[in-house]
Amino acid sequence: MSEHFIKNIEIEKFKCFDNFKAEGFERVNLITGENNVGKTAFMEACFLLSSAFNIFKEHNYNKNTGAKIDRVWFEFELIKLLLEVQQNREKSDFILAWLKEESKINTDNFNIAMNEKFKLVLYDSFIGSEHFGTQAWGNWGHREEVNVVNFRNHKRYGEIYTKNHLPTFKHYIFVSMCNDSQQLNDLIDDLKINSEIKQLNDSLIEMFNIQELDIIKNTIMLKRAGEKFINLSEFGDGIRHFIKIIIVLLSHKDTTIYLDEIENGIHYKNFDKLWGIVLTISKKQNIQVFATTHSKECLESYARVAKKLADEDIALIELGKVDEKIESVVLNYEEIISEIDNGMEVRGWE
């Protein structure tokens, strides 16, 4: 398993999680459970950790000496990650909330750690981080606290917002039904520059009989055979959700991607095609995937396609409540196939 993959996680007092631990994650992980058990919150905790750790990797990270980055800047980046979580949770365009001055971050104290080496802490509105067993912070000198509540007063604030200019976030890896067309435009442009747009178009033909995707006059347009280009907004949520999933997978390597409600808007007859694409691209790109689902058919398709592809790097994370406390069971490939083949219920418990 790649070093950047999340292998285990500990969560204390993050949203609906009080004292939670889980391990046994693989390259592709499907999260199931009853409604409101914390599937999305679990992914949000993983997202905060992996995204913060990715910043280290992008700045000459070394497991012994840490990363050569400005600590104050880094902790302000953590605030931006919290804003990204809020944007996806609201399932709407975050710019609208920003314009209404509704961008305050409302979250309680938490303590989350991954792979027993990296931790994020929010305590009394001050965000902090710790990397176990390194000298990562040794040469940073005096630490300047970053207050989440008063982040607008921070000296880094102007880097994401100035008067008459809307904020820009560059964290694409949490995919939900929240649709930011400009983000997609940028990623599609990158695919075209790198001559990787063909795989996206091939996937659209296979799933929706869409012959071509292109950006025309800064707008994402789709075309069926023999027809004119049509604005993406004219198509259903399923196509838009699928396009964002595939674009994000094709646009990243050696990282972790989060797909919230992966089946949302996609017909169950296309689940096998969807999982075939996700499993194949994630393996090629060396991407770890966490996805949530409410659908038994989606879960069965996940197991069926993994078995067909002989892809054993999968896990099923079942979340459920025991005496009002969230617990988990993590099944590996053999356990998933066995339970599915025997018709056992694996959707979580109450």
Greater pLDDT, 212 or 140 = 212
Query: Are the C-beta atoms of residues 135 and 66 closer than 8 Å to each other?
Result: yes
Q: What is the pLDDT of residue 109?
A: 83
Q: Rounded CA gap, 306 and 340, in Å?
A: 12
Query: Are the C-beta atoms of residues 69 and 55 closer than 8 Å to each other?
Result: yes
In our burial notation (b when 16+ CB lie closer than 10 A, e otherwise), range 272-281 reads ebbbbbbbbb
Check whether 14 has a pLDDT greater than 80: yes
Q: Rounded CA gap, 145 and 122, in Å?
A: 11
Q: Which residues on neighbouring strands pair with residue 63, listed in sequence order?
A: none
| Virtual torsion, Cα 11, 119, 84, 313, nearest 10 deg | -70
- What is the identity of the amino acid at 67? A
Check whether 41 has a pLDDT greater than 50: yes
Q: What is the pLDDT of residue 315?
A: 97
pLDDT digits (tens, 9 = 90+) for 256-288: 999 999 999 899 999 999 999 999 999 999 999
Q: Rounded CA gap, 284 and 277, in Å?
A: 11
Residue from 271, 250, 127 nearest 195 by CA: 250
Q: Rounded CA gap, 101 and 25, in Å?
A: 39
Q: Rounded CA gap, 169 and 269, in Å?
A: 35
| Virtual torsion, Cα 184, 187, 189, 193, nearest 10 deg | -160
Q: Answer whether 0.75 is exceeded by the pTM.
A: yes
Query: Are the C-beta atoms of residues 316 and 333 closer than 8 Å to each other?
Result: no
DSSP assigned state of 153: G
Q: What is the pLDDT of residue 159?
A: 63
As given in the structure block, the two tokens for residue 287 are 């991407």
pLDDT digits (tens, 9 = 90+) for 184-225: 788 888 888 888 888 899 999 988 899 999 989 888 999 998
pLDDT digits (tens, 9 = 90+) for 328-338: 999 999 999 99
Q: Please give the average per-residue pLDDT across 132-156, as a whole number.
A: 59
Residue 236: alpha-carbon gap to chain centroid: 22
Please report which helix (H) or strand (E) contains residue 45, including its range. helix 39-57
> DSSP assignment of 57-87, as one string?
HTTT-BTTTB----HHHHHHHHHHHHHHHHH
As given in the structure block, the two tokens for residue 277 are 């694409």
Check whether 78 has a pLDDT greater than 50: yes
Q: Rounded CA gap, 25 and 236, in Å?
A: 33
In our burial notation (b when 16+ CB lie closer than 10 A, e otherwise), range 101-118 reads eebeeeeeebbbbbbeeb
Check whether 177 has a pLDDT greater than 80: no
Residue from 1, 55, 41, 40 nearest 23 by CA: 1
Give all strands of the β-sheet with 118-123 in edge-to-edge order. Answer: 17-23, 8-14, 110-114, 118-123, 126-131, 146-147
Residue-level length of the chain? 350
